[in-house]
Structures are given as structure tokens and as C-alpha cells.
Amino acid sequence: MNESYDIIVLGSGLGGLAAAFEASRAGKKVLLLEQHNLPGGFATSFVRGRFEFEPSLHEMPNIPSIEEASGVVRYLLDDAGLNIDFETIPDAYRVILTRGGVDVRMPFGVGAFINTIEKQVPGSREPVTAYMELCRDIQEAFGYLSRNEKKVDYRELMRRHGNFIRTGAATADEVADRLKVPPAARDLLYPYWCYLGVPTNRLSFTIWAALLNSYISGGAVIPRHRSHEISSAFVEKILEHGGRLRFNTQVARINTRSGRVVGVTTAAGEEIHCGALISNASPTLVFNSLIHPSTEVPPAARKNINARKHGFSLVVVYLGLDAGPEELGLQDYSYFIAPHMDTRALYENIGNLECRDIMQASVCLNVANPACSPPGTTILALTAGFRSEAWAAVRPSNYVKTKEQVARKLIDQFEKAVGTSILPHIEEVEVAAPATFARYTGAYDGIVYGYEPEPWDSIVPRAMAEEKEHYFENLRFCGGFSYRCHGYGSSILSGKSAAEKTLARTGG
Amino acid sequence: MVVTVKGKTRDLLRFIFHLRKRNRLFKKAPAAKVSPGPMNILAQELHPLFLELKVTQVRQETPLSKTFRLAATEEGKKLPCFRAGQYLVVEDRVEGTPVSRPFSLSSTPDEAADGGYYDITVKGDESGFFAPWALSTWKTGKILRCTGPAGNFYIEPLREADHLVCLAGGSGITPFRSIIKDSLSRNEAYRFTLLYGIPSEEEMIFRQELQELRRLNPDRFTFVPVCSGEQAPEGMEKGFITADLIRRYVSDIGGVSFFFCGPPAMGKHLEEELKVFHLAPRRSRREHYGNPPLESQGEAEYSVTVISGEDRKTMAAREDETVLIALERAGLNPPAMCRSGECGWCRSRLLEGEIRVPDGVSGLRRGDEKFGWFHPCSSYPRSDLVMEVPENPLKNTGE
Ligand SMILES: Cc1cc2nc3c(=O)[nH]c(=O)nc-3n(C[C@H](O)[C@H](O)[C@H](O)COP(=O)(O)OP(=O)(O)OC[C@H]3O[C@@H](n4cnc5c(N)ncnc54)[C@H](O)[C@@H]3O)c2cc1C
Ligand code: FES
């Protein structure tokens, strides 16, 4: 069987789903290949007993306009027309710094957010307000870029959004220093750094500002039926458009000839031809193990990967508890718990199996989505960053034990910080480690985040260099390792734009 | 508001330079290949998609059951680690039809690590399909394709009480042999009370071994065979496992974890019996060897049409058999593991028609329910059906 498609999409993570959605909507003959038996990659769910767990999503920013850079929820609902029910998250987060005696609930809404910081750190209103205004400005500049993606007028950008250019090479800390944001205010301002996975002394201010503003100004939502609802809603539309989706089908090779992709070979040895390929698998995987023959890979493509730093992976402890959130004293959806908010030190501590001085970002699903589990029960997920190196010494024989020990540490940290008791209520528990993510998504080394977005490898440099770093004419990338960097919104929008760019070439 | 970081001009220069920095770093970087991720390798070691195993020994346990010892076909290849209580899915061609069935590992993780083997113990009579085939045709040297170990029926130290009350029925003894033997061999805090329901003395699997374990571990292991047959021999309880019987052997009901494994009908019976204890769900784990029985079973026959790309195939389906069995009878060999609605491996799309799912089966994702996906292994047809079936990843390596 030598089938042929206009576009093959490799991998059905959020990026691949969005790409297949857009390509099939445009009337192309599309094949989406997925090695797992589920769509979504990280955006999925799993069931244990009475509980259906959310594997990865903490929240999506709820920017009200599709015109804006992070208006991904509006894109899903209004533009793509997906059948997803979203639940609203009440507050931004509770930050508990155990060594600094900080325990503050941060609200959504820029005004309320600034007021709360001022109350905790008197005198910080002015710099924090300036900081938040600047973040707003950056986000608007992104909106301008998104609207003019096809042809950016940099002089116009400079005129309208000079701050965007002037802070473009800066780190999050540099801007905070410049605006004299006091350290105590940064304690409350910085917890979201862990969603980007780069300490604020190296983190691109641009991407940080957009993230902070989009959450705080827009609030956040989660899908009612876990992320599997988003993925399934995409699948429904792709099939409706006549796209084909094959599960349990791994791509073993991407066949290329003279700088062009001609098709793929599946693990079962089946050859399928295509006019263009959109890969949700990372450049790391594609250029190191999938392109065939490997001599077709230009050295620049591998240098490009080797120059970058792969982001980290996670450990998540998923807990189904047999007591309701009220009984457990869990009033907050999102908990950021750490000894302090020195992001550089927290980043250094990522991945120590003793869990010494680490930060955890934990979520009580029921607070935003009360019907997510039966009455009198709670779903709690404790998450901490881990580098795979920490697990490299763990062998299959002590793997389960190691996971248990890490889980105990994270549970203990949570119990002490929040002043609650979790252990006696565990009805279901599952611990995901980097190898778990590697198993289910095939991601290189189980990495959850993409390449680290330092200023020189943040979204703007990546976007500007995209055509230059485009090594195969009819191969584009989407997902967390692509130009928009990682995260749900970025992955989805990267898939959309990969499809649009592919269609523009093939005349769609 | 105009913000500068290092000064207006310097900021602009920095902006330009940081784009150039990208090129500079790329040029400087090595062009070497990145080696495979250690976590991808670990995941592969822990959870290979399939294993090729060879029967190296066959032991008749009882008139109706045998233990098959399985080892890697590849000399010196390590078997994946597992958690005592997990199962393998074994595939074979039964009278030409490719099918698979789950079987709990009756051997322990240490036996796999040190001895290089897995044991599965199969019980069956002529009423079955796969089991009698296995019992009559599998001989030493037989090669079998299996999944890696799977399932969630194991001791979870973060949850379990230190006294486990194990209720086994028939072949449901298999995971307990592994769980109990494994734990007793370690210096763990767990104590076990095993109530083992059997139809007759001769159908008691692992009899000697369990008695020996009891003799060696009098403080940690209480073993109570319960025989439902006409003549229950000396030293065995008579009848079925009931709440009263459990009470006689377990004084601290509130402080134990219950584990049940066996046929679904027995599971249903025990569920009723255990009601008087008002157990918290976290104190009650179960592994059903199949679906709970349907309330009412008709004998109607329907058709199932399976769509795959451009192809359509129509087959018969009985109201009293699962959709999965209908697909298997037609030789489709769709993916399946737990066969009891929990694991989601058989997840398929229902395009038209109506199905019935027995009470108490709950593994379907809510998003799947919303968008019309279902688990054929625990669904019975109630009308003609039109559906899509995912490909079987094992098929790729099939004969
Ligand atoms: C997690 C788990 C662990 C298990 N562990 C063990 C274990 O350790 N030991 C053990 O003995 N059992 C175990 N079982 C049960 C085991 O998997 C089988 O269900 C059991 O062996 C009976 O299988 P069977 O095919 O003989 O009968 P069934 O599956 O009950 O047969 C179904 C019926 O359908 C018919 N049928 C099915 N397929 C076809 C076909 N293709 N063509 C024609 N007719 C067909 C048969 O005639 C039969 O009437 C376990 C089950 C589970 C879920
Ligand atoms: S095989 Fe496990 S849910 Fe159907």
C-alpha cells in the first residue's frame, strides 16, 4: 500500500492536532500519525478508580480577544469552533515561602494583583505598577506581531512598541532591577517562572512579560474534562474535515531526497508519501534519529540543537483523596511552595532526588472544577521540576522505590506548607517521572518543556530566524520545541501557524 | 511610558546583538549527533511495547490448571521489572484466530530478576476459548508474543494498611502468590490473611507452596482455604467466603486493606458481603478477571460494521458477548489488555448504534464519553453498530 497525502502530521500533541486541524480545514488531504493510542501527547488524561487525572495542564490564560497574542482560548472556541467546556480558576495562586514566612493569595486582575503586593510590601506600588504596565505593552506588541505575522514592519513596531525592542534582549531580572522592583515584591511576582523553566536571571523578559500579563490580566481556565477534552475536540473536527488519524502507528523514518521530505516509513515498514510534513516531534528527534538518510541532515541543523539547552522534565504526584477539599482545608487551586523565591537557587536545585530546597507547583482541581471527582473526594497534583540527569542513576529495579520516596518528600512539603494532612486520605496515587513522560509522549529524554527560552533563543529571535533555520523546504515544526516555545497556548498556535505556512507554500 | 534597560541606544544595539548571538552560538556548536535520551532508554527497559517469550517449562498444578514458565527468547536478555500483582497480555492464534488474554504473573519480581523467568498460571475448562487452547497446545519451546507487565493491582505503600486481607477465587490466586511471596521475602511490615475460594480440594492451586509459606511465616501469613464443593476436607472452611467468615479471621476490619481477585461473579458476591463493613474505597482494591455480569442478557444478534479508511467490514455480534469478542471472532485482533474496561487500551470510536455497559465499569474518560468513544471490551451491543477500531501495535510484528 503506497498511500499519498498532501500533508502528513507526525504526532498528535496539541501542536500536531492544531496543524492537522488547520490543514484539513483548508481542504488538504491530511494524515495524522500517532504512536500512542490516544491523541494529545501531554494533553490527555488517565483514569484510576473513581478519578480521572489531568496529567499536565495547570491553566490556560483566558485572554478575551482572539486578536491578542495569547488569545488561544478564543481561537479554540470561536475560530476553530471546538466543543470544549471551560471552567474558570478563581485566583491566580497562593505563594508559600516556608523560609521567608510568606503566605499570600494572589488574585487575578492587574489592579487587585498590584494592591495585594502593595499590602505585603508597602511602597512597592509604583515600581510594580510600572512593571505590570510594561508587561501589558509587551503583550500588545505580540498582538501586533501576530496580526502582521506575514509581513512585520519593524519601523512601525519600533514606533508603536519601542519598549518591546528595548527590552528585547533583556532578562526578567534586568527589567525588574531597572524599575527598582523590591526583592520582597519579586517573591510574589515571580512564581510563574517555573512555567517557563528558566531562572529570572536568564529568562527572556519578552516571553515572561507576555506570560505574566496574559494570566494576571485575563484570568485563567481549564477544560472541564481534563485536557483530553481539548485533544478529543480537535480530533472530532479533523475527522469531520475528512482528515485521517492513525493511532498506535509510530514513524520510524522521515524519508528525504535532495532537501525535501518525500514521505515516512512506519515502524511496521509501511511507506507513505506526502507533499509536506509537519512534525510535532522535536528537532532533536527529527534531526538525530528520524531523517533518512541521515546524511541529508545539514550540519547546521544539529549545531542548532547542540547550541541550545533542553528544558527540564517533571515529577508529578497525582493524588485521588477520599476527603473533600473543605475537609482538607484546600481553598486554593494553585499552590507555589518553596523555601524562598530565589529562582536561580531553585533552578540549581531542580532535580535533586532528595528534594532539598525545591519548589513545587501544585493544583487542587476541585477548587476550579468541583465536579471533577465524586462528592467528598479531591484531586490534587503535586509537581516539581526534575532534570533527567538526576534519574540517570536510577535503574529499573529501584525505579518504583525512588518514585515513592520522591512522592513522600513532595507530599510532606505540601502538608507542612499548607498545614493539612494528605497521606491518610490517599485512595489513588500515581507518580509520573521523566521516564513516564518519555514513555507516553516519546519526548526526547522525557522533557516536558522545549529548549530554554533565554533572550537569544526566545520567541522573537526564533521567529525572525525561522526561515533561515528551515532546513528542509517542506518540513515544519510545531509544539513545545518550535518557535513559539512551550506551553499549551504556544503549542496550539505553533501548529496553526505551521499549517498556514505549509499551505502558503503548497498553495492552499 | 518609555522604558530603557541599559539606555536607549545601548538597548537597540543589544537587541541587534542578541540576534547575532544566536548565529554565533550556532556556528560554534558541535555538529555531533545527540545520543538517545537516557529517559527514553529507561522507559523502554521498564515498558517495552512487546516481549517475545518462550515456554521453558510446563507444570501441571491441578487437573484444570498449568503453570507456564516463560523466558526471553533472546539469550541473556533481561525481563522487565514489574510490581507483584501485575499481568501480561499473551497473544496466540487459537484455531487460526489471533487473540490475546491477560494473565497475572504468579512468579515474583525477584524470580524474574534472578531467575530470568515469568510464570503465568492458566486455568480453564472446555467452556472457555483461549485457556483450554493454551492448556492443550502450549508445550516447552512454544514462542509467545506478550505485552510488558501492566495493571494497577499491587501493594501501594503510600496507601495500604499494614494488614492485607486477600480474597481469591479460582485462578484469582495467581497475583497473590506473587504479592505475598514477594513481600514475605522482604523485611516489610505487611501481614497477610488469605481467604482462597475453590470449588474442590483438587482445584486448589499452589497448595503446598502456600502451606509452606504459612509454616515459615506464622506471624505474617494466615492462610484459609474455603471450599464450596460437596465434601470440604478437614482443615478447610466450607461454603463461600462471607462477611461472617472474614470476621472470624480478621479482628481489626477497620484497619486492613482488602484485595480481591477472581471471577467477576464472585467479585459481585463479595461486594454485597463486604457492604456491612462500610469500607472506604481506599481500603478495597480489586482485579476482576473480566466484566461484571449484565443484569439481563438477551440472545439477539446484531451486526457490527467496522470502518478503516476506505474499507468496511461487517460482522455478527451477540447481545450477550462484548463487542471486543465480536471483533475477535471476525479475526480483527484489535488492541486489548485488561478486558474489564479499566485500562483504555481498546478505546474505539462508535459512529452509530447503542451499547450497554455493566454497572461498576468506570474506566472511560469523560471526554471520550462526550465525543462518542467507548471501550469494546466492556460494552455489549444493543443495536447494529458502526465503529472504528484502532490498529493493534502488536500486529506489526505478527506472523
Ligand atoms: C487482569 C486479568 C488477569 C488474569 N489472570 C489470569 C490468571 O492468572 N490465570 C487465569 O487462568 N486466568 C486469568 N485471567 C482470565 C483470563 O484472561 C481469561 O479470561 C480466562 O483464561 C478465560 O479465557 P477464555 O478465552 O478461555 O474464556 P472467555 O474469554 O471467557 O471466552 C469467551 C467466550 O467467547 C468465545 N470466543 C471468544 N473469542 C472467540 C473467537 N475468536 N472465536 C470463537 N469464539 C470465541 C468462547 O467460546 C467463549 O465462550 C485474568 C484476567 C484478567 C482480566
Ligand atoms: S482492554 Fe482495557 S479497557 Fe478495554
Distance between alpha carbon A180 and the CA centroid of its chain, in Å? Answer: 30
**Cβ-contact A242, A7 below 8 angstroms:** no
Residue contact A438–B39, C-beta within 8 A: yes
**Confidence category of residue B93, pLDDT binned at 50, 70, 90:** very high
End-to-end CA distance of chain A: 26
Residue B31 has pLDDT above 60, yes or no: yes
In a domain, B332, yes or no: yes
Chain B positions in Cβ-Cβ contact with residue A165 (cut-off 8 Å)? 11-12, 15
**Residue A83 CB coordination number (10 Å):** 13
Residue whose CA is at the smallest distance from ligand 1 atom 28 = B128
- Residue A381's nearest CA partner among A42, A46, A55 is A55
Given the CA of residue B336, which atom of ligand 2 is nearest to it? 1
Residue keyed to cell 518528600:
A409
**Confidence category of residue A2, pLDDT binned at 50, 70, 90:** low
Shortest distance between the Cα of A408 and any Cα of chain B, in A, equals 8
Count of domains in chain B? 3
Residue A115 has pLDDT above 60, yes or no: yes
Residue keyed to cell 486477600:
B166
**How high is the pLDDT of residue B298?**
81
**Confidence category of residue B397, pLDDT binned at 50, 70, 90:** very low
**Confidence category of residue B67, pLDDT binned at 50, 70, 90:** very high
Whether B254 and B319 share a structural domain: no
Find all residues with CB under 8 Å of B195, minimum gap 6, and list them.
B165, B166, B167, B168, B224, B226, B237, B241, B245, B246, B249
Residue A508 has pLDDT above 60, yes or no: no
In a domain, B23, yes or no: no
Residue B214 has pLDDT above 70, yes or no: yes
Last residue of a domain, one of B243, B259, B288: B288
**What does the pLDDT look like over B257-295, one tens digit per residue?**
999 999 999 999 999 999 999 999 999 999 998 887 777
B229 or A98, which is more confident: A98
Give the 3-state secondary structure percentages of chain A, helix then strand then coil, rounded to 5: 45, 20, 35
Domain ranges of chain A: 2-50+226-308+449-506, 312-448
**What does the pLDDT look like over A279-338, one tens digit per residue?**
999 999 999 999 999 999 999 999 999 999 999 999 999 999 999 999 999 999 999 999
Peptide bond before residue B38 is cis, with ω within 30 degrees of 0: no
CA atoms within 13 A on the CB side of B113: 14
Q: Which helix (H) or strand (E) holds A343?
A: helix A343-349
Residue keyed to cell 528544558:
A311
Shortest distance between the Cα of B6 and any Cα of chain A, in A, equals 8
- Residue B142's nearest CA partner among B103, B99, B92, B105 is B92
**Residue A109 CB coordination number (10 Å):** 15
d(CA A69, CA A223): 20
Whether B277 and B176 share a structural domain: yes
**Confidence category of residue A155, pLDDT binned at 50, 70, 90:** confident
Grid cell for residue B261: 481477585
Q: Is the CB of B327 under 6 A from ligand 2?
A: no
Q: In terms of DSSP bridges, do strands A244-246 and A86-88 run parallel, antiparallel, or are they unpaired?
A: unpaired
Mean pLDDT of chain A: 95
The enclosing domain of B332 has a CATH number of: 3.10.20.30
**Cβ-contact A410, A382 below 8 angstroms:** yes
**What does the pLDDT look like over A387-421, one tens digit per residue?**
888 898 999 999 999 999 999 999 999 999 999 99
Residue B76 has pLDDT above 90, yes or no: no
Instruction: Give SS3 for B257.
Output: strand
How would DSSP label each residue in A51-62?
EEE-SS---EE-
**Confidence category of residue A507, pLDDT binned at 50, 70, 90:** low
**Confidence category of residue B242, pLDDT binned at 50, 70, 90:** very high
Chain B positions in Cβ-Cβ contact with residue A49 (cut-off 8 Å)? 281, 362
Whether B136 and B82 share a structural domain: yes
Interface A-B: count of C-beta contacts within 8 A: 230
**Cβ-contact A54, A365 below 8 angstroms:** yes
- Residue A216's nearest CA partner among A89, A364, A47, A49 is A89
Residue B310 has pLDDT above 80, yes or no: no
The enclosing domain of B123 has a CATH number of: 2.40.30.10
Chain B positions in Cβ-Cβ contact with residue A389 (cut-off 8 Å)? 38
d(CA B346, CA A35): 15
Whether B142 and B234 share a structural domain: no
Paired strand residues for B65: B62, B123
- B interface test, pick of A31, A135, A201, A247 with most B CB neighbours within 10 Å: A247
**What does the pLDDT look like over B313-369, one tens digit per residue?**
999 999 999 999 999 999 999 999 999 999 999 999 999 999 999 988 889 999 999
**What does the pLDDT look like over B115-126, one tens digit per residue?**
999 999 999 988
Would you say how long chain A is, in residues?
A: 508
Q: Which residue of B83, B368, B391 is in closest CB contact with A400?
A: B83
**How high is the pLDDT of residue B398?**
40
d(CA B90, CA B146): 4
Q: Which residue of A300, A434, A439 is in closest CB contact with B26?
A: A300
Residue B395 has pLDDT above 70, yes or no: no
Whether B254 and B356 share a structural domain: no
Chain B positions in Cβ-Cβ contact with residue A313 (cut-off 8 Å)? 39
Find all residues with CB under 8 Å of A294, minimum gap 6, and list them.
none
Q: What percent of chain A has pLDDT over 90?
A: 88
Q: Which ligand is nearest to the CA of B374?
A: 2
Whether B130 and B185 share a structural domain: no
**Residue B2 CB coordination number (10 Å):** 8
Average pLDDT of span B32-42: 94
**What does the pLDDT look like over A179-227, one tens digit per residue?**
999 999 999 999 999 999 999 999 999 999 999 999 999 999 999 999 9
Q: Is the CB of B287 under 6 A from ligand 1?
A: yes
- Residue A212's nearest CA partner among A233, A231, A230, A190 is A190
Grid cell for residue A333: 487551586
d(CA A112, CA A116): 6
**How high is the pLDDT of residue B399?**
36
Query: Lowest-confidence range among A266-270, A402-406, B190-194, B231-235?
Result: B231-235
Q: Which residue of B23, B34, B43 is in closest CB contact with A438?
A: B43
B18: nearest CA partner in chain A:
A456
Given the CA of residue B153, which atom of ligand 1 is nearest to it? 1
Whether B63 and B122 share a structural domain: yes
Given the CA of residue B97, which atom of ligand 1 is nearest to it? 41
Q: For domain A2-50+226-308+449-506, is the CATH number 3.90.1150.10?
A: no
Q: Which ligand is nearest to the CA of B121?
A: 1
**Cβ-contact A18, A214 below 8 angstroms:** no
Residue A135 has pLDDT above 60, yes or no: yes
Given the CA of residue B321, which atom of ligand 1 is nearest to it? 34
Average pLDDT of span A170-187: 97
Residue contact A248–B152, C-beta within 8 A: no
A323: nearest CA partner in chain B:
B280
**What does the pLDDT look like over B126-175, one tens digit per residue?**
889 999 999 999 999 999 999 999 999 999 999 999 999 999 999 999 99
Longest CA–CA separation in chain A, Å: 71
Residue contact A465–B113, C-beta within 8 A: no
Instruction: Give SS3 for A296.
Output: helix
Domain range for B322 is 301-392
Q: Please give the ipTM for the structure prediction.
A: 0.96
Q: Is the CB of B329 under 6 A from ligand 1?
A: yes
Residue keyed to cell 492443550:
B136
Residue A40 has what DSSP assignment?
Answer: B
Q: Which residue of B33, B39, B364 is in closest CB contact with A391?
A: B39
Last residue of a domain, one of B146, B177, B207: B146
Residue B394 has pLDDT above 80, yes or no: no
Last residue of a domain, one of B258, B288, B318: B288
Whether B48 and B83 share a structural domain: yes
